[in-house]
Structure formats: structure tokens, C-alpha cells
A and B are shown apart, each in its own frame.
Chain A
């Protein structure tokens, strides 16, 4: 397998994970090494497989909604949004404006929470201990808003098919605004810690390059694609939930390396704040939507996808005109993005593997489903 090198050493197979902390869950990577150099990898996944798609076929549409939160559990709101939108599409209904704006606010808050978790753990993998405490401190504020809104912090089940379950609580707007005001300077603070830090730059620049064409080849989406210079975000390309009303930019990188992916995600947090600030100013009055008592969509199939923090999250639902979905397929961004790992780490060092897994921002609950 390895080409002969000047040391003419034999290949070493190293098992990384599934309990390795830097694999962010239960990912097992089998590394084929030549000294420190990675000659090839094989991912072993499925340790967290719970058969979500099979469960869906045995639940009604409403009953399945909480299950989707357990896939990407650090961005449960996005999962719920994608599912609700898919079923609404199948029913050919739309949530009322008040529900839509609320959905945007909570989803963007969740994007910030997801990126904060990524930043903290990614920096920890690289060796910077401090950011994780800062990130969790700010993430806590987001989770408090979720808790005040729906009683749950992680698996929120915040939305219902057709709208929302709960009316906004008193002081929601103030809390969200206060969070935005507090949070923006903190992003600068993280950047001060990391962006020009010599070790950070040395570990990230030029590591794990994946260019735009390779991203398309593998179907890689989200910040990884944007860092490769492809200006593509589903919120702009095919707006849902009224995203076309908000003014925001799509940050992109140039080199498609780990450093660019870091910069893209940092900027995305700022853009999320921008969206939240616009949305919270114009939460319309009106109904929050009502879940139909019986959901029995006509026979048909739809594919609906959203821009989740990790990339394109899609739901393909086949209905047979009964109260239970005939088939639900989840198109998980983490699963598809992880496939590009082998391409990214080849020729790099073992230490880079840790950096690259971190920068892919995978959640194993979603990879394995």
C-alpha cells in the first residue's frame, strides 16, 4: 500500500477511537501510517445507530418529531425545522408569519450554539484550553433562552408541524437582544485569542485542504464548502422560512483549508446575530399556528432541505396517505461530509487528523442516526 520512502519503513496501522476524545463522539478511524505520515484512512461508524428511519415508519408524523432532535443533538432546533418544513410541504401548508420569524430566531440562535460548541472543542483538540470555557459560557445563554421558551436545553422539540407549540414568553425579545449585544464583542474576544495566534495558525493553515470541485464531488456542504470559495448557502439559494427578508452575507474562504473553515464559521456567528437582530425587531402579531389533529398527507414524495449548521440537512418523505410516513430518509450533512475525511488527511500528519476531524464539525448522532 505505501510507496517506498527513504526510510523504507513498513506500514503501521493505528486505531483511533471510538473512545478517543478528539473524535467527538464514537468515530473510529483506522489510520494507515508511514511514520507520522497518513497513507490512508478508513472510518468505522455506526456505533450510535438507532434506526431513526425505521422508527419513523412506525410512528405518526407528530410522534416522530421529537426523534429528529436526537440526530444532531447540538443543533436540535435545525433538525426540527427541517422536519416540520418537509411535512408542511407534503401537506402543502405554511406556518403563519409569527411562527416563521420565531423559527428563524431560534434556528439562528441554535446555529450560534452549535458553532460555539464546535469552536470550543476544536480549539481544545488543537491544544488551546481557554476558548472552551468562554464558548460554553456564551452557549449557556443560548440554552437558557431555549429553556425559557420550551423547557428543554438540548433536545428542544421547539417547533410543531404547522407552527409553534408555545407562545413566546414575556421578555423573550429583551433576552434575545441582550444576548446579541453581549455576544458580538465575545466573538472578537475569541478571535483575539486565536486568529493570529502563532500555534493556531501553524496548526491550521494549509491543513486538510479540500477545494471547491472536490467538495462538489463528495457532496460536501456547509461551512466546509464555503471555505473552499463556493458561495452557496441554502438560506440564500432556496430561501425557506422567510430568509429572503433578512439582510446577511455568506462568508467564504479561499483556500479551503482548516484555517478558512475556522474563519468562515466565526463570521457565520456574526451573520447569525445580524439575522436575529433584524428578526426580533419585527416579530409580527398573530397566530402561532396549529398542528392539525390528524396528519394524513396525500400520496406523494417530497425532498425538503435546509441549511443546518453543518451543511445541507434534507428530509425525503414518502407518504402513502396514512397517518404514518411510509418512508423517511434523512440526508445528514455530517455523514456526507465525513466521507471526504480520507481525501483531506492523506499525506498529512497524525496530529492533522485531529485538527481535520474537528474542522469537519461532525456530530456522530447524525452520522449514525
Chain B
């Protein structure tokens, strides 16, 4: 008995207080966030080392579209045309009807938030007869509505919907401009750079799935 009492007395009471807090836990740094954004490059990287694209087709395009096409270049053997945003549908039409680029492979976008024209839109085209692949590239500011390519390539429908779903770029004249992969009432556009991979639309997840965010 006595031993037990002694032992109890010697140990500090667990909940009654009075004992000083262990010193280790007390000084916690207020916000020790490692928060390094994924792409915090200190200096802008060197631009793409593209070389001019020589040949019959680029000459034809330059002749036809003049200053609406700012460059025809090649990078690693892949040719691309940089065009003004309002010229893209006529350009696609020209390429389809007069240069046989009849297969629209893909439409996608890239977000550069620091640029005044923050989105680059890419149209990847292929020609069965030429066995050649080219890209058309345009830049648009946030909120701009580029013309939809559905009138030229039917297959652009879902591809443009996906670009809208992921980047929030509305296409003017698109027959069915809705989200395609995400739920209709989802907030935000996930492939924009300011959207973190860790923070999805928590409200939607909680309301519809009844769980905290999947992270």
C-alpha cells in the first residue's frame, strides 16, 4: 500500500494541472508551410529553340493569310503555325480543303498565367494524303471567346467541350458548350495553374458524396 501511494505521489497527476507543460511542444512555429508552388521558376526559361519552317505549304499559308499568321516554325521536326486568334477557323478550313489536312487530331490548351494572353490553344492536324502532322497555335486572353471549329471538323465538338471544362475557355458558335468530364455544377477549372492539385471543389464533394475532400 505504502509503496503504491508513494509511486502515485511521485508521478505527476495527469489531468489536475499544475505541472509545467513539456517544453518541446510549446514553441510551435505559427505557419511552417513548405508551400512551394509547383512551378516557381526564379528566372524565365529560355524560349523554345524553334527554327523557321521552309517549304511550299508555309509559303502558301503566308501568302494567303498575310499578317494573320505570325510564324511558321519547326521544333524537333514538328511543324507549327502561330496564328492570330480570329484567323484560326479560316485557317483550319483552308488547311482542310486546300491542303488535305482533313483529320483534326486534338484541340488542347496551355495556361500561362503571367502572360497578358494567358492561354495558348493548340489544334493538331493530320493529313492522310500527305502523311504529315502540323499544329496551329493561337494565344487568347482570359475571357476571350475563340470561334468554334465544329463547323469545319465535327470532331471538334467534344474536344472543345473538354477545353472549356478544364480551362474555362468558351468557344463562340459551339452547338453544346457544356462541361463534359466534370459535373455540371462544379466550380472552377482544374487545369488552370492557380488551381492546386490538393484543393478540388470541396463544396461539391461534401454535398454530393458526403465525404471530406478526397485528399
CB of A301 within 8 Å of the partner chain: yes
A46-B181 contact in complex given A322-B45, A326-B110, C-beta closer than 8 Å: yes
Among B105, B153, B166, the most chain A Cβ lie within 10 Å of the Cβ of B105
Say whether A303 contacts B124, CB under 8 Å. Answer: yes
Closest CB-CB distance, B181 to chain A, in whole Å? Answer: 4
Closest CB-CB distance, B133 to chain A, in whole Å? Answer: 7
Complex interface: chain B residues within 8 A of A46 (CB): 179-183
Say whether A45 contacts B197, CB under 8 Å. Answer: no
Complex interface: chain B residues within 8 A of A300 (CB): 48-50, 75-76
List residues of A (327-354) whose CB comes within 8 Å of B's CBs: 327, 329, 331, 335-336, 339
Closest CB-CB distance, A169 to chain B, in whole Å? Answer: 35
Complex interface: chain B residues within 8 A of A55 (CB): 197
Please give me the residue from chain A that is nearest to B122 by CB atom: A316
CB of B142 within 8 Å of the partner chain: no
The 0/1 profile, CB within 8 Å of A marked 1, for residues 31-66 of chain B is 000000011010001111110000000000000000
Say whether A89 contacts B191, CB under 8 Å. Answer: no
Question: Taking chain B's interface residues, is the majority helix, strand, or loop, or is none over half, making it mixed?
Answer: loop
Complex interface: chain A residues within 8 A of B103 (CB): 216, 219
Query: How far is A217 from B124 in the complex, measured between Cα atoms in Å?
Result: 14
CB of B102 within 8 Å of the partner chain: yes
Stretch from A1-9, A15-23, A230-238 that touches the partner: A230-238
Interface positions of A (Cβ within 8 A of B): 45-46, 49, 51, 53-55, 57-58, 89-90, 92, 216-220, 230, 232, 237-238, 298-303, 305, 312, 314, 316, 318, 320-322, 324, 326-327, 329, 331, 335-336, 339, 368-369
Query: How far is A369 from B197 in the complex, measured between Cα atoms in Å?
Result: 15
Closest CB-CB distance, A301 to chain B, in whole Å? Answer: 7
Closest CB-CB distance, B38 to chain A, in whole Å? Answer: 5
Closest CB-CB distance, A319 to chain B, in whole Å? Answer: 9
Interchain CB contact (< 8 A) of A321 among B38, B45, B75, B190: B45
Closest CB-CB distance, B163 to chain A, in whole Å? Answer: 10
Given contact pairs A216-B128, A331-B105, A335-B162, enumerate 7 new A-B contacts (beta carbons under 8 Å). Answer: A57-B197, A58-B197, A301-B48, A303-B78, A303-B133, A312-B105, A331-B106
Interchain CB contact (< 8 A) of A54 among B110, B158, B190: B190
A218-B154 contact in complex given A54-B197, A232-B128, C-beta closer than 8 Å: yes
Please give me the residue from chain A that is nearest to B103 by CB atom: A216
Please give me the residue from chain A that is nearest to B104 by CB atom: A219
* A–B Cβ pairs within 8 angstroms, 18 of them: A46-B182, A53-B166, A54-B195, A57-B197, A220-B155, A299-B47, A299-B48, A302-B76, A302-B78, A303-B78, A303-B105, A303-B133, A322-B39, A322-B45, A326-B110, A327-B111, A329-B106, A331-B106
Query: How far is A106 from B128 in the complex, measured between Cα atoms in Å?
Result: 28
Please give me the residue from chain A that is nearest to B134 by CB atom: A303
List residues of B (149-192) whose CB comes within 8 Å of A's CBs: 153-155, 157-159, 162, 166, 179-183, 190-191
A45-B75 contact in complex given A54-B190, A336-B155, C-beta closer than 8 Å: no
Say whether B45 contacts A219, CB under 8 Å. Answer: no
Say whether A57 contacts B155, CB under 8 Å. Answer: no
Say whether A219 contacts B155, CB under 8 Å. Answer: yes
Complex interface: chain A residues within 8 A of B133 (CB): 238, 303
Complex interface: chain B residues within 8 A of A49 (CB): 181-182
Complex interface: chain A residues within 8 A of B183 (CB): 46
Complex interface: chain A residues within 8 A of B166 (CB): 53
Say whether A298 contacts B46, CB under 8 Å. Answer: yes
Say whether A238 contacts B76, CB under 8 Å. Answer: no
Say whether B105 contacts A305, CB under 8 Å. Answer: yes
Complex interface: chain A residues within 8 A of B179 (CB): 46
Query: How far is A298 from B41 in the complex, measured between Cα atoms in Å?
Result: 14
Complex interface: chain A residues within 8 A of B48 (CB): 298-301
Query: How far is A271 from B110 in the complex, measured between Cα atoms in Å?
Result: 39
Closest CB-CB distance, A338 to chain B, in whole Å? Answer: 8
Please give me the residue from chain A that is nearest to B131 by CB atom: A237
Closest CB-CB distance, A181 to chain B, in whole Å? Answer: 36
Query: How far is A47 from B92 in the complex, measured between Cα atoms in Å?
Result: 33
Say whether B49 contacts A316, CB under 8 Å. Answer: no
Query: How far is A110 from B158 in the complex, measured between Cα atoms in Å?
Result: 28
Complex interface: chain A residues within 8 A of B68 (CB): none
Complex interface: chain A residues within 8 A of B38 (CB): 57-58, 324
Complex interface: chain B residues within 8 A of A58 (CB): 38, 197
Complex interface: chain A residues within 8 A of B154 (CB): 217-218
A321-B181 contact in complex given A53-B166, A230-B128, A331-B124, C-beta closer than 8 Å: no
Say whether B153 contacts A45, CB under 8 Å. Answer: no
Say whether A326 contacts B39, CB under 8 Å. Answer: yes
Closest CB-CB distance, A331 to chain B, in whole Å? Answer: 4
Complex interface: chain A residues within 8 A of B157 (CB): 339
Among B108, B124, B153, the most chain A Cβ lie within 10 Å of the Cβ of B108
A53-B153 contact in complex given A324-B38, A368-B181, C-beta closer than 8 Å: no
Say whether A217 contacts B190, CB under 8 Å. Answer: no
Complex interface: chain B residues within 8 A of A369 (CB): 181
Closest CB-CB distance, B174 to chain A, in whole Å? Answer: 14
Complex interface: chain B residues within 8 A of A220 (CB): 155
Say whether B76 contacts A92, CB under 8 Å. Answer: yes
Please give me the residue from chain B that is nearest to A47 by CB atom: B181
